[in-house]
């Protein structure tokens, strides 16, 4: 069965600090996709990134970067020089070939507080 | 602007009452989803639909029902059989034509409470 574990329930940092959000996943499929979403206080989840199981290349987008390591089944998310606007709940998610890729399993989320 | 509209934002249910949460999208997406979010937990899938007039149960479908009569609309009914309905409900949609594993677009949720 699929599973996504975000062991960090809450993280608090001071503005301009770097912060890494951990994500560990479980799946028996060789074809799967991993996602990160951001949920600001407004409640709407916002898609950040999608990565497929055949592409382990790390990705950087502005202050955001993602480290995908199949050997440890991890897909960690780093925010560099954090800002107050980064305060939100961040969800890691997994979708595999079960139900044709339409079912997504979400982790419990990590709440990030960035203090000014 | 394209997006997903959920209404109402807040909803209160009396004991033994059915309530319906609305979800409308103008993104021309084929797939739509309903999730339940409880404090400290991730999103759990209630129902999903790939195409009009077809839908499948998710992990926690008991006590809920849906319909998909139009591409744009995917209403969720919380029935009296759902004994613990207090939660935050999120509707989402995604394209299908580009293959599976597509990212989902979310509405801003409905918070349901018991009176």
Look at residue B39 and tell me whether its pLDDT is greater than 90.
Answer: no
Best probe of the B interface among A10, A31, A45, A97, by most B CBs < 10 A, is A45
Q: Please state, in angstroms and rounded to a whole number, the distance separating the CA atoms of residues B86 and B75.
A: 17
Look at residue B27 and tell me whether its pLDDT is greater than 70.
Answer: yes
Strongest mean pLDDT among A19-28, B7-16, B90-99: A19-28
Q: Which residues, other chains included, contact A93 with Cβ-Cβ below 8 Å and sequence gap of 6+?
A: A4, A34, A35, A36, A37, A104, A105, A106, A107, B42
Look at residue A100 and tell me whether its pLDDT is greater than 70.
Answer: no
Q: What's residue B2's pLDDT?
A: 73
Task: Please give, rounded to a whole number of angstroms, the shortest distance from the CA of A78 to a CA of chain B.
Answer: 20
pLDDT band at B98 (very low <50, low <70, confident <90, very high): low
Q: Please state, in angstroms and rounded to a whole number, the distance separating the CA atoms of residues A54 and A31.
A: 8
| Cβ contact B64:B84 at 8 Å | no
CA within 13 Å, CB half, B70: 9
Task: Please give, rounded to a whole number of angstroms, the shortest distance from the CA of B48 to a CA of chain A.
Answer: 8
Q: What does the pLDDT look like over A75-94, one tens digit per residue?
A: 999 999 999 999 999 999 99
Mean pLDDT of A37-52: 94
Is B105 an interface residue toward A (CB < 8 Å)? yes
């Amino acid at each position: 069965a699929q599973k996504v574990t975000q062991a960090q329930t809450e993280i608090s940092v001071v503005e301009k600090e770097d912060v890494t959000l951990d994500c560990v996943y479980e799946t028996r499929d060789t074809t799967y996709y991993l996602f990160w979403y951001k949920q600001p206080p407004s409640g709407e989840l916002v898609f950040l990134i999608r990565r497929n199981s055949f592409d382990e290349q790390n990705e950087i987008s502005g202050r955001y970067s993602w480290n995908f390591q199949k050997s440890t089944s991890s897909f960690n998310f780093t925010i560099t020089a954090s800002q107050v606007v980064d305060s939100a709940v961040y969800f890691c998610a997994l979708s595999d070939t079960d139900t044709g890729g339409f079912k997504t399993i979400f982790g419990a989320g990590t709440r990030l507080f960035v203090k000014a | 602007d394209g997006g997903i509209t959920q209404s109402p934002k807040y909803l209160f249910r009396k004991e033994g009452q059915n309530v319906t949460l609305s979800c409308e999208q103008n993104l021309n997406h084929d797939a739509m989803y309903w999730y339940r979010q409880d404090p400290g937990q991730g999103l759990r899938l209630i129902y999903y639909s790939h195409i009009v007039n077809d839908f499948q149960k998710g992990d926690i479908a008991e006590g809920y029902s849906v319909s998909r009569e139009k591409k744009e609309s995917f209403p969720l009914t919380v029935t009296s059989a759902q004994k613990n309905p207090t939660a935050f409900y999120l509707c989402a949609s995604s394209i299908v034509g580009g293959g599976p594993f597509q990212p989902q677009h979310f509405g801003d949720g409905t918070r349901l409470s018991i009176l």
